[in-house]
A and B are shown apart, each in its own frame.
Chain A
Amino acid sequence: MSLYFFKEMDKMKNEILALGAMVEGQLHKAVRAITERDAALAQDIIAKDKVVDAKEVEIEEELLKIMALNQPVAHDLRFLVATLKINNDMERIGDLAVNIAERAILLSNKTQQSIPVDLARMSDIAESMVRQSIDALVKFDTEMATSVCQTDDAIDDLNDTFGTILKQELATTSDPDIVEVLLGIQHVCRDLERIGDHATNIAEDVIYMCEGRIIRHHIREYVQKQAPDA
């Protein structure tokens, strides 16, 4: 293909990585806003989401232009298609971070309530999944991508466990403030779990990019094949 095409592909990769960095930053700030109950930080996150959305649209348009003008095949085609989907997942992670930020604003008004679950543990897993999935994209590393897929179970379990604890707490109280806080935390747990799912999607798309296989619904078989003695 022409030199122009290679340059455009390179640029596309850098753009998606820039979006990834933005989204990673949004997620981290959202988690911090919750733990530190920082309403100002939460506002920043909500404001920045417009930039994230604009970037997603920009990437998609660029991508379609490349495909229309160059008719790529094989590896290049897989790369562009996977990037299109990853673009989408990243923007969704950004939106979920905004959701979490909104809960932080709620929490900042009710500082006397403490959070009965170890949110830090769950948010750590979610953040590391997002970070690892983007790492896998940078290096085209299917092993890293596979481990992200495997981690999704852990965050799902935590979501269930915390959900149960929160339900118990809800049953024992009638104070509307406490109820609001507990429900908010429940939302945050769910948002984190969905972020984990999106990170898994990104990882699966990376595997598709590298190997041409869609493992979306066959994760366990794929993982078994990669490490038969694990």
Chain B
Amino acid sequence: MKQRTLLWQLYSSYLLIILLSISVVAWYALQRSVTMHRIQLEHNLHAQATILAAAVRGPDQSILADNHIASLCHKLGKQLSTRLTVLKPDGTVIGDSSGDPARMDNHLDRSEIRAAIRGESVAVQRYSHTVQKHMLYIAMPVTIDDQLVLYVRAALPLNIINETIRTIITRILIAALFVILLAALLALGVSNHLTQPLRIIQAGALRFAKGDFSQKLPESRSEEITALTTSLNTMASQLDDRMKQLFYEKQTREAVFHSMAEGLLAVDAARHIIHINPSAAHLLGVDQAKTKGQPIEAGVRNDDIQELMREAMNTDVPVKREIRVGAQQNLLLVVRGTALRSPQGVRIGALLVMQDVTHIRHLETIRQEFVANVSHELKTPITSIKGFAETLLDDSDADPETHQRFLQIIARQADHLNAIISDLLLLSSVEHLSNQAQIPMEPTPLRPMLESAMATCQRKADHKQVSLELACEPDITMEASPHLFEQAAINLIDNAIKYSPDLGTVQISVASDQNEWHIAVQDQGPGIERQHQTRLFERFYRIDKGRSRNMGGTGLGLAIVKHIATVHEGTVSVVSAPAQGSTFILHIPRKTD
């Protein structure tokens, strides 16, 4: 159905009404005018005939002479602009204002004369052969003493009449047209005025649709429009409130997602990422802004995560798994996945929640290993002691030499046990102190301290023919706790000797930059693989369990060194690669003095 504007609909109705009404009025006016004109004309003719009838009477109830009558017709006819005719009762024309009467034929048969004979003075319209025009006639008898003496007749040519009528029609029509135009313009104005509120409402509704609720719709003079605008305004303010509320909820939700420590990753049914919070982006090593909207295979390039997501999407129960992520795969995450459901319960995607348990797991592992290690370390010498002691008790009559040997073994094992326990205690106290930072520090000359440490390890070095070399300026002084620092140096040098090949060299050197002292102990041993380097300083951590236990030692040496470094507000590091030896470096910050 073709729609037309309300304006046009109103206006066309108005136009139609105007046209109809004015047409009807104009038509009626025309008819009446024309009729009135005709009647008026007939009256005039009748009056003129009457005057002529009076004019042809002479004094003393006689009539004028024929030639008098003829000239009278001419004169009066000219003055009145009417054709006047006088006839004898037998029909002969005595006088006529429009021609010579002698030449006119008998007029008795004329219809108006016959009507006058009958006594009806009616207007007759007919063609006149005399003047060769259509004329309108009125005839009247003239009587003297009730005796018919003459007929008088007045006439007018019809074309004049018709012209007059035409003028009247034209004038009325022009007036009508003018009124129609004026009315049309006015009607246009009125229609426009009526439809204006609707247009305002339309513009307002468009603004609301765009979300702009700032301007309310104005009231209108008409009740219905005002009711409409009031409803629309109410609706607008409700929408505004609701949108503000939704926006606020969205902001809150976004804030929650953004601040969560856990990572959140959500995909839709097509496995495109619909949400990823900053924690998840950080854990997975991706750019949050770039990943959103991508399919998960492109966005997160971890096979385990992708598989877990597929599983979560297809099952109704939550799934949980531990997954390693990261470029070095050194982050351990506990990832829980569930299907994403709409409020109606339809599955629309999947959600993964990631928790970083690397540190916790690491601590757990260290603790477990430590407990196992301590138990093992302590058990080994005790088993020996117990075994040999029981053998001695059982076998009391073995020779004194065997007894002596067994007792020596027991003593040695007891020493080893003691060493472990001492080291544990030392470690514990250093850890405790490093937590409290209450060690007395004094400026200590470095070279003598290192030489003393070297002296302590000299015997072991000589045993393997390993040479110890020191490169240290003689006047360097460092803020340190002399006893602890020397212990750290001893541990490092001892390790270096232990792992050096026979005839090798252990180099101890001291260097510094603006901020730190670097005390380095370098050996030519087998080197340390990268994955061990980070765990090297843990208690009881051994790279190669078999080999290092055979070499003696408690497994706590490096842990002690690390804590001593911490006590001095420094760190210890290792530079090493397989077959390239190892260098252990103590980094001690220089105190500004």
Given contacts A14-B295, A18-B297, contact A25 B304 (CB under 8 A): yes
CB under 8 Å from chain A, chain B span 299-335 = 301-304, 306, 329
- Residue with the highest number of chain A CB atoms closer than 10 Å, among B271, B303, B304, B530: B303
Asked whether any CB of chain A lies closer than 8 Å to the CB of B529, the reply is yes
User: Are B529 and A115 interface neighbours, CB within 8 A?
Assistant: yes
Which of chain B's residues have a CB closer than 8 A to the CB of A32? 329
Asked whether any CB of chain A lies closer than 8 Å to the CB of B119, the reply is no
Which of chain A's residues have a CB closer than 8 A to the CB of B529? 35, 114-115, 120
User: Are A112 and B530 interface neighbours, CB within 8 A?
Assistant: no
How far apart are A49's CB and chain B's nearest CB, in angstroms? 13
Asked whether any CB of chain B lies closer than 8 Å to the CB of A134, the reply is yes
Given contacts A14-B298, A114-B526, A117-B578, contact A21 B306 (CB under 8 A): yes
Asked whether any CB of chain B lies closer than 8 Å to the CB of A86, the reply is no
Interface size on B, residues (CB 8 A): 20
Asked whether any CB of chain A lies closer than 8 Å to the CB of B198, the reply is no
User: Are B547 and A117 interface neighbours, CB within 8 A?
Assistant: no
User: Are B579 and A24 interface neighbours, CB within 8 A?
Assistant: no
User: Are A120 and B297 interface neighbours, CB within 8 A?
Assistant: no
User: Are A24 and B329 interface neighbours, CB within 8 A?
Assistant: no
How far apart are A25's CB and chain B's nearest CB, in angstroms? 4
Given contacts A21-B303, A35-B531, A134-B301, contact A118 B578 (CB under 8 A): yes
User: Are B301 and A20 interface neighbours, CB within 8 A?
Assistant: yes
Which of chain A's residues have a CB closer than 8 A to the CB of B297? 13-15, 17-18, 21
Which of chain A's residues have a CB closer than 8 A to the CB of B577? 118
Closest to A35 in B: B531
Identify which of B302, B531, B546 contacts A21 (C-beta below 8 A).
B302
Which of chain B's residues have a CB closer than 8 A to the CB of A36? 531
In the complex, per-residue mask of A90-131: 1 if CB is within 8 Å of any chain B CB, else 0: 000000000000000000000110111110100000000001
Identify which of A15, A21, A35, A165 contacts B301 (C-beta below 8 A).
A21
Of the four ranges (under 10, 10 to 19, 20 to 34, 35 or more), the interface on chain A belongs to 20 to 34
How far apart are B525's CB and chain A's nearest CB, in angstroms? 11
User: Are A18 and B306 interface neighbours, CB within 8 A?
Assistant: yes
Which of chain A's residues have a CB closer than 8 A to the CB of B303? 18, 21-22, 24-26
How far apart are B331's CB and chain A's nearest CB, in angstroms? 13
How far apart are B423's CB and chain A's nearest CB, in angstroms? 25
Closest to B300 in A: A21
Which of chain A's residues have a CB closer than 8 A to the CB of B302? 21, 25
User: Are A24 and B578 interface neighbours, CB within 8 A?
Assistant: no
How far apart are B286's CB and chain A's nearest CB, in angstroms? 11
Which of chain B's residues have a CB closer than 8 A to the CB of A116? 578-579
Asked whether any CB of chain A lies closer than 8 Å to the CB of B146, the reply is no
Please name 9 pairs of A and B residues whose Cβ atoms are closer than 8 Å in the assembled complex, sorted by A. A13-B298, A17-B297, A18-B306, A24-B301, A32-B329, A35-B531, A112-B546, A116-B579, A117-B579
Interface residues of A (CB under 8 A from B): 10, 13-15, 17-18, 20-22, 24-26, 28, 32, 35-36, 111-112, 114-118, 120, 131, 134-135, 138, 165
Instruction: List 13 additional contacts besides A17-B301, A21-B297, A114-B529; criterion CB under 8 Å.
Output: A10-B295, A13-B297, A14-B271, A20-B301, A21-B301, A21-B303, A22-B303, A32-B329, A35-B530, A35-B531, A118-B530, A120-B529, A138-B298
10 tightest CB-CB pairs across the interface, nearest first? A17-B297, A25-B303, A21-B303, A14-B297, A22-B303, A120-B530, A18-B297, A14-B295, A21-B301, A35-B531
